[in-house]
Amino acid sequence: MKKAKTPQNKEHAKQQHCPTCIRYVKYNERYRDYVCDKCIKQAVDKDGNSIAFFNITESGHGVQGKYMEGEKLYRSTLCIIKGVKCNAEEAYFGGIVIRPVKKEKGSKTPSAKEVDKKGLSEA
């Protein structure tokens, strides 16, 4: 684990939190805002249907979503977790990482109610 030095020359472990539940997660230099495993299980589409994401290939590449009810594929990488709009993406060394969608400068982050009204594609 990487250590950060303070002015008193004490070493402290770098800390990182899940952006949706504020639970401590393992520090990751590349993905400083990734969603924890417990929250990933709560991913839903704009209509509240549970979804899960997986890699398309066995080697850990590509991203695909599917509805938990049945085997129908989900055709987006966007989801909502605890009212936070998130995006699933292929992790650098394979696997899936889910992170909050970054807002553009000057734009307001939509609330969960606004996302429900507009839909994920417009929010």
Dump pLDDT digits (tens) for 31-80: 999 999 999 999 999 999 999 999 999 888 899 999 999 889 999 999 99
Higher-pLDDT residue of 104, 82? 82
The two structure tokens encoding residue 80: 């909502």
The two structure tokens encoding residue 57: 């290939």
Torsion, CA 108, CA 86, CA 42, CA 24, rounded to 10: -90
Of 80, 25, 89, 29, nearest to 60 (Cα)?
Answer: 89
Q: Could you tell me the pTM of the whole model?
A: 0.71
Residues 109 and 118 sit within 8 Å (Cβ to Cβ): no
Phi and psi at 38, nearest 5°, equal -65, -40
Q: Which residues of 15-34 are buried (b: 16+ CB within 10 A; e: fewer)?
A: ebebbbeeeebeeeeebebb
Domain residue spans in the chain? 12-101+108-118
